[in-house]
């Protein structure tokens, strides 16, 4: 059985392959390890140790134990969680709950999904809980990875993304411009700014268009269209909705609207920060980004500068606004020894108790020993409105967008497929944006390349 499963693994690390194989082979171990004692009252929670620190999980553990008398949470935290779980699962020690995101270099979560080793937890999200969560947060492939309407991954933290700009240019006594809401207004602003010697737009790197493209697809065609696009529907780019997205991006990144040095700087060797600095310095008005840009550019940001963030514009006639959310996920292994209790823990992550714990989170500077607010926001309606003192108004404003009526949260990523020789999705989908700017490709060329890419991916996803 191990050999069969190993042969099925694709484009993923050997470590992850071993983990899944071990999980399948050792599922029966739940009767002979410590998880079976106490009628399943020992719950093992394995959490990735990242920038949020460890105290946040200690507090959640304590709160869950307090509200569930007789339950002991065995908390495991590691910055190399995929490697640690590999060894443990091989030894028959399967966790009940795992916090480990999609998109990590190891591909651990993707491997588990590919092998059917993650449990369907749709029943956790009853109508009452769904009503508490941000609209749309469960609709993308970050929650429904197979696109079958079933939830396997619980989005427990989120960060909104959008177009970032100098707020002082649009608000206050020195405001020069009016903030646009539609693409027509956006490009009209570009024409106005050009007379002032300012470009409308820049982008750190072409890959930063991922959130923008996801948002625009959902905005153009609605959520059903968006979900099909993530699963490589054949009509994605030949449809009127898909072509509208490509034409609009093509116009946006043309030399008429994008800052002249953008493509030359759009690299991971530090050039991307020059493009970000160009927004700070007033050479360009907008760029796609997330609120991590605040700390990333703190050293070169003037003290009187105030960041702002807005969703990507709507087309005329659109009634709702889409905002892309980067989410972090929690999941339950298919062979979790305490399945019911594990689901209760996942549900607990959306409780008022945990929402407050997340918002009160602090991190400590290892060099100075000083603590500072480091709130984490759950995708629960109203949570962002409770961000504590000490958090920048910019951060509060960008989260506040998600609580506005008519705003739909968009999540998800292009679906995982079998490996395709010679295909790099980032290069195939986003790299042509640079070539359109330089004139080496047209939007029609890009459309043709995307159609061919979707055909390959659709076949590899079968």
Q: What is the pLDDT of residues 257-270, one digit of tens each?
A: 999 999 999 987 88
Tell me, yes or no, whether 285 and 305 share the same domain.
Answer: yes
Mean predicted lDDT score pLDDT of the chain: 87
pLDDT band for position 39 (50/70/90)?
Answer: low
15 vs 202, higher pLDDT? 202
Is 30 part of a structural domain of the chain? yes
389 in a structural domain:
no
Kindly state whether residues 298 and 433 are assigned to the same domain.
yes
Closest CA to 311 of 163, 170, 140: 163
Residue 11 has pLDDT above 70, yes or no: no
Query: Does 399 map to a domain?
Result: no
The answer on pLDDT for 6 being more than 90 is no
Q: Are 114 and 143 in a shared domain?
A: yes
Residue 131: inside a domain, yes or no? yes
Considering the domain boundaries, does residue 136 fall inside one? yes
The percentage of the chain sitting over the pLDDT mark of 70, rounded to a whole number, equals 90
Instruction: pLDDT band for 418, please (50, 70, 90 cuts).
Output: confident
Which residues are bridge partners to 133 per DSSP?
380
For residue 460, is pLDDT > 90?
no
To which residue do tokens 């493209």 refer?
Answer: 213
Q: Verify that 82 and 64 share a domain, yes or no.
A: yes
- Exposure pattern of 355-370 as b/e (b: 16+ CB <10 Å)? bebbbbbeeeeeeeee
> Does one domain contain both 320 and 424?
yes
On whether both 234 and 313 belong to a single domain, the answer is yes
Structure tokens at 436: 């359109």
Task: State how far the Cα of 349 lies from the Cα of 178, in Å rounded to an integer.
Answer: 40
Judge if 247 and 314 occupy the same domain.
yes
Give the Cα separation of 361 and 358 in Å (integer): 5
Rounded Cα distance between 161 and 215, Å, is: 10
Q: Residue 288: which domain range? A: 161-325+417-460
- For the cut 60, the answer to whether the pLDDT of residue 3 exceeds it is no
pLDDT score of 443: 98
Q: What distance in Å separates the CA atoms of residue 423 and residue 453, rounded to the nearest whole number?
A: 8
The more confident residue out of 52 and 82 is 82
Handedness of CA 113, 117, 119, 120 (dihedral sign): positive
pLDDT at 124 over 60: yes
Q: Would the pTM count as exceeding 0.85?
A: no
* Of 342, 358, 373, the domain-final residue: 373
In this structure, the answer to whether residues 307 and 368 fall within a common structural domain is: no
Please, are residues 107 and 12 in contact by the beta-carbon 8 Å criterion?
Answer: yes
Where does the pLDDT of residue 312 fall: very low under 50, low under 70, confident under 90, or very high at 90 and above? very high
Examine the pLDDT at 409 and tell me if it is beyond 50: yes
Q: What is the mean pLDDT of residues 337-353?
A: 97
CA distance 262 to 270: 12
User: Given a cut of 90, is residue 139 above it in pLDDT?
Assistant: no
281 neighbors 300 (Cβ within 8 angstroms): no
pLDDT attached to residue 164: 97
- Sorted by sequence, the CB contacts under 8 Å of residue 15 that are 6+ apart come out as 82, 83, 86, 106, 108
In the structure, what pLDDT confidence band is assigned to residue 366 with cuts at 50, 70 and 90? low
Least confident of 91-100, 271-280, 383-392, 449-458: 383-392
* Residue 249, both tokens: 């991006």
More confident residue, 3 or 124: 124
In which band, very low, low, confident or very high, does the pLDDT at 295 lie, cut at 50, 70 and 90?
A: confident
**Chosen domain end from 340, 356, 373:** 373
Same domain, 197 and 294: yes
Same domain, 262 and 353: no
383 domain residue, yes or no: no
Alpha carbon separation from 138 to 168, 292, 326 (Å, rounded)? 35, 23, 12
Structure tokens belonging to residue 275: 């493009």
pLDDT in tens, 155-213: 999 999 999 999 999 999 889 999 999 999 999 999 999 999 999 999 999 999 999 99
Phi-psi region of 52 (alpha: psi -120 to 50; beta: other; left: phi over 0): alpha
- If asked whether residues 368 and 449 sit together in one domain, one would say no
Q: Count up the domains in the chain and report the number.
A: 2
* 213 is a domain residue: yes
Q: Cα(77)–Cα(84) distance, rounded to whole angstroms? A: 10
Instruction: Report the pLDDT averaged over residues 230-234.
Output: 94
Same domain, 47 and 111: yes
Burial class (CB in 10 A: 0-12, 13-18, 19+), 372: exposed
Q: What is the CA radius of gyration of the chain?
A: 23
The domain that holds 331 is classified in CATH as 3.40.190.10
Q: Which two tokens stand for residue 75?
A: 């908390």
pLDDT reported for residue 383: 93
How long, in residues, is the chain? 462
With contact defined as beta carbons under 8 Å apart, do 312 and 162 qualify? Answer: yes
The most confident of the ranges 78-87, 226-235, 244-253 is 244-253
Please state the rounded mean pLDDT for residues 270-287: 95
pLDDT at residue 61 tops 60: yes
Is 378 within the bounds of a domain? no
Residue-level pLDDT at 365: 62
Confidence bin at 367 (pLDDT 50/70/90): low
214 to 90, 141, 250, 312, 447: CA distances (angstroms): 38, 12, 15, 10, 16
State which of 373, 401, 430 marks the end of a domain: 373
């Amino acid at each position: 059985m191990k050999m069969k499963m190993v042969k099925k693994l694709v484009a993923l690390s050997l470590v992850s392959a071993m983990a899944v194989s071990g999980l399948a082979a050792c599922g029966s171990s739940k009767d002979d390890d410590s998880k079976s004692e106490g009628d399943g009252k020992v719950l093992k929670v394995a959490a990735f140790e990242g920038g949020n620190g460890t105290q946040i999980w200690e507090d959640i553990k304590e709160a869950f134990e307090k509200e569930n008398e007789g339950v002991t949470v065995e908390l495991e935290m590691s910055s190399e969680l995929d490697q640690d779980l590999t060894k443990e699962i091989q030894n028959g020690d399967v966790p009940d709950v795992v916090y480990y995101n999609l998109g990590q270099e190891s591909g651990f979560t993707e491997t588990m999904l590919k092998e059917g080793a993650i449990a369907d937890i749709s029943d956790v999200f009853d109508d009452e809980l769904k009503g508490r969560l941000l609209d749309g947060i469960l609709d993308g492939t970050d929650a429904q990875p197979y696109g079958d309407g079933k939830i396997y991954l619980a989005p427990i933290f989120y960060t909104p993304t959008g177009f970032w700009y100098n707020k002082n240019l649009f608000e206050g006594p020195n405001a020069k411009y009016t903030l646009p809401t539609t693409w027509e207004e956006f490009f009209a602003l570009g024409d106005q700014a050009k007379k002032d010697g300012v470009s409308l737009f820049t982008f750190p790197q072409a890959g930063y268009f991922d959130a923008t493209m996801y948002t625009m697809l959902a905005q153009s065609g609605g959520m059903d269209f968006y979900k099909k696009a993530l699963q490589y529907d054949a009509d994605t780019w030949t449809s009127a909705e898909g072509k509208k997205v490509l034409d609009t991006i093509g116009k946006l990144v043309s030399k008429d609207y994008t800052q002249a040095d953008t493509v030359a700087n759009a690299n991971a060797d530090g050039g991307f920060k020059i493009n970000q600095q160009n927004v700070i310095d007033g050479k360009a008005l907008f760029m796609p980004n997330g609120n991590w840009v605040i700390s990333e550019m703190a050293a070169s940001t003037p003290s009187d500068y105030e960041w702002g963030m807005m969703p990507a514009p709507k087309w005329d006639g659109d009634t709702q606004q889409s905002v892309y959310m980067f989410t972090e996920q929690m999941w339950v292994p298919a062979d979790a020894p305490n399945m019911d209790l594990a689901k209760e823990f996942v549900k607990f992550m959306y409780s008022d108790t945990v929402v407050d714990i997340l918002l009160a989170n602090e991190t400590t500077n290892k060099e100075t020993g000083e603590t500072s607010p480091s709130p984490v926001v759950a995708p629960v309606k109203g949570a962002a409105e409770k961000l504590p003192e000490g958090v920048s108004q910019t951060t509060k404003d960008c989260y506040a967008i998600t609580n506005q009526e008519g705003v739909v949260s968009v999540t998800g990523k292009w679906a995982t497929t079998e490996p395709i020789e010679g295909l790099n999705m980032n290069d195939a989908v986003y790299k042509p944006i640079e070539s359109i700017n330089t004139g080496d490709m047209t939007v029609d060329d890009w459309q043709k390349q995307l159609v061919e890419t979707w055909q390959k991916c659709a076949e590899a996803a079968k």
